[in-house]
Amino acid sequence: MVEERQNLSHGTAGATGQVAGRRSGVPYERLRSELMSAADQEQAQEQAQEQAQEQAQEQAQEQAQEQAQEQAVDGPSPLRAGGLAPRQARRMRVAAASVLMVAVAAVLVARLASRSSVLVVGVYGLALILCGGVIELSRRGRTRLGTWLLVAGLAAAVAADAFLIP
């Protein structure tokens, strides 16, 4: 039934209901390409070329993104106009956050020796967690965000120590 519908739509049905191309031994694809008009063939070729170009562009973009990402994370980068290379900036932020973490821990021990308050532990404990978060952000390349969080968090800890803790 399906073959008869195809045959009727192409107008090539024989007495037995077979496609004329198959009856005569010509492959179906060749017969189909012969039946297509020149404009249809050109359009099909253009579509195939466009698809190939799109795939090539996508692959090139993916490769460029991978190379840029690898270079930003691992490879040496030229110095920026204002300062350090990204890798150096990450190391600097990690070192600064580590030093501040040790300083906050020392202040926590000193404050607990003078006054034991849950508020003291809470404020300085949050400051320690913040320093650890900044180290992780810097390690992942989010150095500016980490720097702002570190400055704001430590300023809040110092303000809380001065005004909230008795």
At residue 13, φ and ψ (nearest 5 deg) are: -75, 135
pLDDT score at 51: 82
Phi/psi region, residue 20 (left: phi>0; alpha: psi -120 to 50; beta: rest), is: alpha
The answer to whether 26 and 12 have CB atoms below 8 angstroms apart is: no
pLDDT score at 152: 93
pLDDT tens digits in sequence order for the chain, 166 residues long: 555 555 555 555 444 444 454 455 557 776 666 666 666 777 778 888 888 888 888 887 877 777 777 666 554 555 455 688 888 888 888 898 899 999 989 988 888 888 778 888 888 899 999 999 989 988 888 888 988 998 999 899 889 888 887 6
pLDDT score at 115: 77
